[in-house]
Amino acid sequence: MNALTDLQYQIQAALGQRPLDLLVRNVRLVDVYAEKIVETDIGICGDRIVSVLRNESRETQRTLDANGRYALPGFIDAHIHIESALLTPDRLAEVVVPTGTTTLFVDPMEVANVAGYDGLAEFFRAAPTLPYRIFVEVSSRVPTAPGLETTGGELGPAEVRRVLAWPTAISLGELDPSKVLDASRKAPYLKKILAAHARGKIANGHAAGLSGQDLEAYAAARLADDHECVTLDDVKARLAMGMAVIIREGSSERNLQDLISGIVRENLPTRHMMFCVDDKFSADIAAEGHIDYNVNEAIRLGLDPLKAIQMASLNAAEHFRLDDRLGAVAPGRWADFILTDSLTPISPAQVYVGGRLVAQGGRLVVEVPKIRYAAWLKNTVKAKRGTKAAHFAFKHPERGVAKSKGAALSVTVRVIEIVPDQIINYFREAELEVKDGQICPDLTQDVLKIAVVERHGKNGNIAVAFAKGFGLKRGAIGGTVAHDHHNIVVLGTNDADMAACVRALARMRGGFVAVAEGRTLAQVPLTVAGLMSDRPASEVNAALDKLNAAARELGSPLNSPFMTLSFVSLPSIPEAGLTDKGLVDVRARKIVPVVIN
């Protein structure tokens, strides 16, 4: 059937002139428009809802008695990088769909930074075979920091316009302030915003730490939302500027409790708020949940259940201009809904997508075809250097000022200090000892050596700096997930183990690894673009658990050390980032020396 015939059939089914395909009787429907619960039935024709009226005599092909279960819209993740879950989209289905997530709004900037437009096309090729819906937030910053990093791919204005023309494209993906506030120099990014608006699509924000006049200018650049709020003041400032707020709860970005607690305390309106995970490992989704976790936690913290459900459905659909298809259990919308026995908490008993049962009792009940990616997308780790300990030596620069420290010399260096459970960080200073002409890490200060190794096979760059807050007492950890350039990032207590990490990552064509005394303690292979695995979720999650246990054995106290490691290299979140070209002052948007003269 074509679209016109489908529409004709659906109108006829709504009028009772032809049978429904499915009638779900005896539901307590969550009306997200009126914020009330209605006892009724749901009539479905094809993949659409055509009726939410009670009608005992309606003719139907199939009937399901919901026995008084609540029926609520399928959940929407308003901003996710699928790659950060470490699973390919087909494998991710078994983790997110049983939790009630039926739609993902995906910014694929990670695979784009590795493989460009061709990588995007390959990544989304099999999307129609998935038991959930994918819409594309077209990646706007590939690379994130032009001139300050080496990436495998690029998306200029022409490529962005090309992806915006895809039927599934719904917005321009996140733009950070550095791309728009200096309007005289950022014409390519402003052109991307205008290209999105010309197609009737919004442009997504990414405004960590922004306030006052800068935030106002950012909103004036027509950025529609922000998922980087850390404090309640951040939330209120963005709402006051007409920007929507997407409340994030990822693996290392734990913002939900503080924000929802404040929203409840001050009784802030929530109609312009949504939920996302942004970056959350599949193991954490399996352990905690996906958007259902955000909803249930919000309810536990005192938010009205109907408002929490509304944030996870209608608000996102309206914001992205998809509310004619998504976000509510109402006529004309896709039949994407959840049946649950309770709203406190919500635990999906059944999940439907397009009127088809896709999950029941916490498990997928449909077969998902395995996506087979092109060989070139599984061979992207091409590091030219980094396999030898000598590659990580940090020589004391002759121009530096070495100070006497007893019998030894010391030097003052800039250090990246992480904030646990957040992706922001700060510049700090530390005095480190110089031995045999080399600046050494200092475990007593928790100051470790960190390096980024170019892995796209372009120039062999290696940048070495220092980081604080990871807590390692021995060994090293590393990975090919390093936002947003996705070179190799490695952190360690000694150069030999850092080199061993690089060798292991090259052997397995990407992933994460923990090493001590030259021996691999645990690893998670991620062969698809060096970012994702096409193995079953349970296998990947078990490997990640072993990896985190190995990091704890090495001394790290962090809840998610590898997610935290992957963000230390990000040159767009204040204050510091590390790329293959050096230590980046994010606010000044320039490379700065590690050694302070």
Residue 29 within a domain: no
33: region left, alpha or beta (phi > 0 left; psi from -120 to 50 alpha): alpha
Q: Do 428 and 301 reside in the same domain of the chain?
A: no
* Whether residue 157 is found in the same domain as residue 262: yes
pLDDT, residue 399, reads 46
Tell me, yes or no, whether 315 and 385 share the same domain. no
User: Are the C-beta atoms of 565 and 199 separated by less than 8 Å?
Assistant: no
Separation between Cα atoms, residue 70 and residue 340, nearest integer Å: 5
- Answer yes or no: do 410 and 275 share one domain: no
Note the pLDDT of residue 100: 98
Are residues 85 and 155 located together in one domain of the fold? yes
Smallest CA-to-CA distance from 453 within 381, 528, 556 is with 381
pLDDT (tens digit, 0 to 9) for every residue of the chain, 597 residues total?
Answer: 689 999 999 999 999 999 999 999 999 999 999 999 999 999 999 999 999 999 878 899 999 999 999 999 999 999 999 999 999 999 999 999 999 999 999 999 999 999 999 999 999 999 999 999 999 999 999 998 889 999 999 999 999 999 999 999 999 999 989 888 887 666 889 999 999 999 999 999 999 889 999 999 999 999 999 999 999 999 999 999 999 999 999 987 889 999 999 999 999 999 999 999 998 999 999 999 999 999 999 999 999 999 999 999 999 999 999 999 999 999 999 999 999 999 999 999 999 999 999 999 999 999 999 999 999 999 999 999 999 999 999 988 764 444 555 556 899 999 999 988 777 899 999 999 999 889 999 999 999 999 999 999 999 999 999 999 999 999 999 999 999 899 999 999 999 999 999 999 999 999 999 999 999 999 999 999 999 999 999 999 999 999 999 999 999 999 889 989 998 998 888 899 999 999 999 888 899 999 996
- Point out the domain boundary residue: 322, 338, 368: 322
Answer yes or no: is 363 within a domain: no
Question: Do the beta carbons of residue 494 and residue 472 sit within 8 Å?
Answer: no
Per the CB < 8 A criterion, the answer to whether 430 and 596 are in contact is no
Q: Which residue has the tokens 């049978």?
A: 19
Neighbours of 232 (CB within 10 A): 17
Which residues, 6 or more positions from 187, have their beta carbon under 8 angstroms from its beta carbon?
none
> Which uninterrupted H or E stretch holds 118?
helix 109-124
The residues, any chain, with a CB within 8 Å of residue 492's CB and separated by 6 or more, are: 448, 449, 472, 475, 476, 477, 478, 498, 501, 515
Radius of gyration of the chain (CA): 25
Which amino acid belongs to residue 10? Q
Say how far apart CA 11 and CA 388 lie, in whole Å.
68
**Of 299, 322, 345, which closes a domain?**
322
Q: What is the CATH number of the domain that holds 305?
A: 3.20.20.140
245 and 152 within one domain:
yes
Structure tokens of 370?
């395995």
Residue 109's domain comprises: 74-322
In terms of phi and psi (left: phi > 0; alpha: psi -120 to 50; beta: otherwise), the region of 327 is left
| 525 within some domain | yes
The size of the chain, in residues, is 597
Strands 133-138 and 101-106: parallel
CA–CA dist 347, 382 (Å, integer) = 44
Q: Is residue 3 part of a domain?
A: no
Nearest Cα residue to 487 out of 570, 562, 422: 570
Give the residue carrying structure tokens 């088809």.
356
Q: Assign 249 to helix, strand or coil.
A: strand
Question: 3-state SS of 364-401?
Answer: ECCCCCCCCCCHHHHCCCCCCCCCCHHHHCCECCCCCC
How far apart CA 352 and CA 329 sit, in angstroms, is 11
Given 306, 322, 338, the domain boundary residue is 322
Residue 65 lies in a domain: no
Residue 52 resides in a domain? no
Q: What are phi and psi of 439, to 5 degrees?
A: -80, 130
Q: How many CB atoms lie within 10 A of CB 370?
A: 11
Query: From CA 284, how far away is CA 251, in angstroms rounded?
Result: 7
Q: Is residue 573 part of a domain?
A: yes
Query: What is the β-pairing status of strands 408-418 and 403-405?
Result: antiparallel
C-alpha 397, offset from chain centre: 39
Is 343 domain-assigned? no
Say whether both 558 and 463 belong to one domain: yes
Phi, psi dihedral angles at 349 (to 5 degrees): -80, -40
Count of structural domains, the chain: 2
CA quadruple 417, 397, 487, 161: dihedral, nearest 10: 90
For residue 17, give every residue at least 6 positions away whose Cβ sits within 8 Å of its Cβ, in sequence order, or none. none
- Residues 582 and 433 both lie in one domain: yes
**529 and 114 in contact (C-beta within 8 Å)?**
yes
Do 283 and 386 belong to one domain?
no
Q: 317 and 434, same structural domain?
A: no
Based on the fold, state whether residues 415 and 535 are members of the same structural domain. yes
472 touches 490 (CB < 8 A):
no
- Whether 384 and 304 map to the same domain: the answer is no
Annotate 406-452 with three-state secondary structure.
CCEEEEEEEEEEECCCCCCEEEEEEEEEEECCEECCEHHHCEEEEEE
3-state SS record for 157-216: HHHHHHHHCCCCEEEEEEECHHHCCCCCCCHHHHHHHHHHHHCCCEEEECCCCCCHHHHH
**Phi, psi for 407 (deg, rounded to 5):** -85, -10
